Every structure is written in C-alpha cells, then in structure tokens.
Structure 1
C-alpha cells in the first residue's frame, strides 16, 4: 500500500494520497483525535480543497494512532453566549454538508473509539469500514447535549428511525460487530487492516465516472425524500449525465471491449 504523492500536510489534519484516493487523517492523538475547534477548521479546509481537486477521485477519512475520533474536546466546553455557540456549531455543520453533498465519495476507516462527533463523521460518510476493536457511542446526552454534526439526519439514514432514537437517547456503546449488524457500518475487518480495506473500497469509487458520482450524491442527499422529488431529480439530472463525455466514453468502451477512461465531464 503506497501513500505517496503528498497533497498537503497540516499538524492536526494530515492528507496523503494513494493514487486517486486522498487519505485524510485526524491527528490529535494526545486527546484521542478529539474534534477540537482547530481540527474542525482544518478538516473543513482540507475537505473543501479535496472536493475541488481534479486528481482526487475518492476520500478515506481515518484517525491517527489507532483511534478514529473521541468526540468533542471537553477542554473547550466552557460557557459562551448563544450566538457564540451557534457560530461554533456552524463549522461541523459545514463539514457534514460537504461530506454528504460533496462530489467525492468518502469511506470512513474506524479503529478504536468513535464517540459523539466521531460517530457523526462516520455516519456522514458513504461507506464505513469498522475494526473489530472499534467502539461507538452517540455520547452527546452524557454531557448534557443533543447530537450534532448532522447526526439527526445521518444516523436514521443508516440504521432506521427507531434504532437511531434508541442510540441517541441511551448513549449506549456498541461494538464493531454490532455496528455491522445494525447497518451502521458496511464492513468489519481485524484491527490493523482497516485502512487497507477502506482504500480498497475507495479505489472502487475512484474508478467510477466522477460526474455520475457527484450527481448521485446530490440526489441521495437532497432529492429523494418523496416520490415526486425522486421523479423530479431523475428528470433533471439524468439528461445531464446522458450528454456527458463520461457516459459516451463508457458506451464506446463497452462496444470496443476495453476499460473506460473517465475525465469527469
């Protein structure tokens, strides 16, 4: 597994590349990669850059030092005004919307703990690979808060409304095995193999037509809540894709019995 071809490296969020896949690592190990203000700012900047980086076709989100993300940084939870809290909460919401609606597929590689906002980041990803030693919890109510970073929407998308309500209200911890059983995670592998498994999935995404992936993510995030919306989304977006160079290339490659080369147009 090669992670050569550095795009950018910051202290608290590190980005490397494996071919067309960007690996984004949360890097705050002394606090188990807690979702601090600095990390939020760096992650939003990094993801925004990657979503507009032509050479990046898919993203793996992981954590340094065998831990995904322990949730919000308790040391930063001090008294503020309501307006200050609203401003601070906008950053994780911007990250959530970018992950869910952005044009690149995201695979979460979860090892160790994923608590609070860590669960939110995993849930907002398109695919979740969980290690056998992973531990998850929607831990917000334990510190007198309700879920944030888009978890109200993303958790029910993954596990259904009833199970999401249970996990949010009880803040009960669940294992990597349980995460797969209830549909939160797509795949479980042994500890130490998570990044390789996530990269394998991301490389599959990276080989897909970029424009189709981008429109599909938009549709899944915003355009299928009702029958009429689903039909309207199909009517509006499918003609665009049918006229794309990637679609023409796919059909031509099929007829010529060769691999397609997609460019995102």
Structure 2
C-alpha cells in the first residue's frame, strides 16, 4: 500500500493502494457494529472517494479485527418516535445509494461476521470476496425489524427473489462456501485472505474507463427490466460514451497494440 492510513484512530479508516482506496470499518471492540458515528463517517468517506477524489478509481470495503460488520449497534436501539426512526434510517439508505449508483466500483472483502447491515453492505457491492468461514445472517426479523440499508433490493439482485425471501424470513446463518454456491459471493478466499484478493479485483476495476464505469453502474442501479428500458438506456447513454476521450483512446490503443490510458473524459 502506497500510503499509511489517514488516521489509525478513525472509526472508518482509509488507505490508498495506487488507484484503489481501502475503506476499513474500524470498531473491532464491537465487531464493527454499524453505529451512528460509523454511518456518519462512512457516508462522508464514500462521498469524498466517489465524487471528490480523482486519484481513486475503485473502492474496497472491509472490516478491522478479522470481522466485516456484525450489524446494527444494539446499544443505540433506544425508544424513539416514528419520525425520529424515519430520519435515522435515511443515513444508511444514503450510504446504500452511494454504493449502488456512485461512479466507482466497490469490492467487499468479507471476513468473520457479516450480520444484518453487514449483509446489506456486502450485497450492494459490485463484487464480494468472502472468506470461507465467514458467518452471514439476515437477522433483522429476529429483532422484530425489516431488512434495511437497501437489502430489499440488493439481496434479490444477488441471489434471486425466491432465495432472498428464504434468507430474510428464516434469518438462518450461512457460511462463505454457501454464499458462493447461492451467488451471494463472487469469490471464495481462505480465512485472512479476503482483503488481498479483493484488492486485486479492485485493481482490475480501476483499469477500466472511468466514464463508462460510472454510466454502467448508474444504469444497472436504475433497473433494466424490460425491452423498452434496455433500448432507452442504450440509446441515451451509448452516444455519450462514443464521443468520450476514453473510447477514442481505447480504439487508438487497440490499433497501436498498446495499453490504453484512460482519463475519465
């Protein structure tokens, strides 16, 4: 990694490995529980990386202490008004939207536990590298709640509607090997090896034309469920990319038999 963490004391740490930003949930004493402070900081970090940091072209999300995220912080689940709860729910949903439709790809490196919101943060990522012994559970129903942080959408995108229904209703645990089998994870790693594997995947994403990646992620997040939607998306976006410097560079590099150098324009 080319740079030291911006702060070892932050509840969300950021390191840079070339064009890859490694974002670490850093609350290991509570298994990286998705506390209010963590949500606030993660949103700020992701927004900056997505929209303000031109040196970042792909993001890896992981957790400190050999744990990804054990879900919501139970100590913060106090009695509040319905309006208060609605307002507090907006922040994790904004994080979900950033991860789902922001211009840069996100790779999850999952170890240890991914419960509740940990499942949600994994599911919305573009690519999930899971340690084989990771324990997952969509445990919301066990505490009398609905799936949150966008899991209603992202889980079915990964495993299909039927399997998603089974996972959220049963709240049964499944491990990394099962996650790979059902399509929740994209790649399996040995325990302790998810992060380096995820960084390698993110490096490949970082080499892609940034403008095309941004448009592709936005289109996929918007949903293409019919023939007309597919045609409309292609007609509206393809001409923009045809005119881009990156497309022209890719065509020129192909003819000259050299690697393309993309600038995001």
TM-score, normalization by structure 1:
0.98
Cα separation, 2, equivalents of 1:125 and 1:98: 10
Match of 1:211? 211
Residues 188 and 3 (structure 1 numbering): CA distance in 2 closer, same or farther, change over 3 Å? Answer: farther
Query: Is the counterpart of residue 82 in structure 1 residue 82 in structure 2?
Result: yes
Cα separation, 2, equivalents of 1:9 and 1:228: 49
Match of 2:123? 123
Contact 1:223 1:230 survives alignment (8 Å): no
Query: Is the counterpart of residue 72 in structure 1 residue 84 in structure 2?
Result: no
SS at match of 2:87: helix
Alignment of structure 1 residues 58-69 onto 2, 5 Å: 58-69=58-69
Cα separation, 2, equivalents of 1:7 and 1:93: 26
Match of 2:16? 17
- Per-residue CA shift, 1:11-37, capped at 9, x if unaligned? 100000111000000000110000000
Gaps of 5+ in 1: none
- Per-residue CA shift, 1:68-91, capped at 9, x if unaligned? 000000000010001100000000
Alignment of structure 1 residues 226-265 onto 2, 5 Å: 226-265=226-265
CA-based RMSD: 1.1
Match of 1:93? 93
How big is the shift at 1:3? 4.7
SS at match of 2:39: helix
Cα separation, 2, equivalents of 1:262 and 1:225: 31
SS at match of 1:30: helix
TM-score, normalization by structure 2:
0.98
Cα separation, 1, equivalents of 2:234 and 2:4: 37
Match of 2:104? 104
How big is the shift at 1:229? 1.1
SS at match of 2:224: coil
Contact 1:223 1:233 survives alignment (8 Å): no
Gaps of 5+ in 2: none
Query: Is the counterpart of residue 134 in structure 1 residue 137 in structure 2?
Result: no
- Per-residue CA shift, 1:70-128, capped at 9, x if unaligned? 00000000100011000000000000001000000000000000000000000010000
SS at match of 1:128: strand
- Per-residue CA shift, 1:207-233, capped at 9, x if unaligned? 000000000001101041222111101
Residues 6 and 113 (structure 1 numbering): CA distance in 2 closer, same or farther, change over 3 Å? Answer: closer
Number of residue pairs aligned between Structure 1 and Structure 2: 264
Residues 61 and 3 (structure 1 numbering): CA distance in 2 closer, same or farther, change over 3 Å? Answer: farther
Cα separation, 1, equivalents of 2:212 and 2:114: 31
